[in-house]
Amino acid sequence: MPRRPKPRPQGLEELTPLETEIMQVVWDCGDATAAEIAQTLRKTPPLADTTIYTVLARLRKKGYIAPIPTIERSLRFAPVIPREQVGGRSLRGLLQDFFGNSPRRLLAHLLQAGEVDEKELAEIRKLLKKTGPKEG
């Protein structure tokens, strides 16, 4: 029996990998034109201008960016949704899909894989002492 797809969470549509890449540029810059995005991406081969315009139109339709007033000839776009909000939603999806909704399992994976260095581990310990574990 085929598995049913999981229902999508209410709100924003998921980003494709290319949309995410372009959003990273917009978040890093604070706002950007299509030309600035193309220059920053420096892909090989470079993306066609029409591809960037198409992705920007999709991001605008999805509610991730909005045009901002400018005297320039080119449209300039600014992020509407903060990077942390998108990252948090993605992390919740990873937790659910790959780690059984267990932050412990995710952290154990990162530690066992050697993805956390001593400096980061010390910062995690400070955060744990500061915030303490959740009750329940």
Integer Cα distance of 52 and 87 in angstroms:
22
What's the pLDDT at 135?
Answer: 63
Based on DSSP, count helices (H) and strands (E) in the chain, helices before strands.
6, 3
Q: Are 101 and 95 in contact (CB under 8 A)?
A: yes
- Can you tell me whether residue 73 is helix, strand or coil? coil
Q: What is the pLDDT of residues 73-132, one digit of tens each?
A: 889 999 999 999 999 988 998 899 999 999 889 888 988 888 888 998 899 889 888 886
Tell me 76's DSSP state. E
Q: What is the pLDDT of residues 36-63, one digit of tens each?
A: 999 998 877 888 889 999 999 999 999 9
* pLDDT surpasses 70 at 2: no
What's the pLDDT at 9?
Answer: 42
* pLDDT surpasses 60 at 8: no
* pLDDT surpasses 80 at 18: yes
Q: pLDDT averaged over the chain?
A: 86
* pLDDT surpasses 90 at 16: yes
What's the pLDDT at 46?
Answer: 84
Q: Name all domains of the chain by residue range, CATH numbers in brackets.
A: 17-79 (1.10.10.10), 83-131 (no CATH)
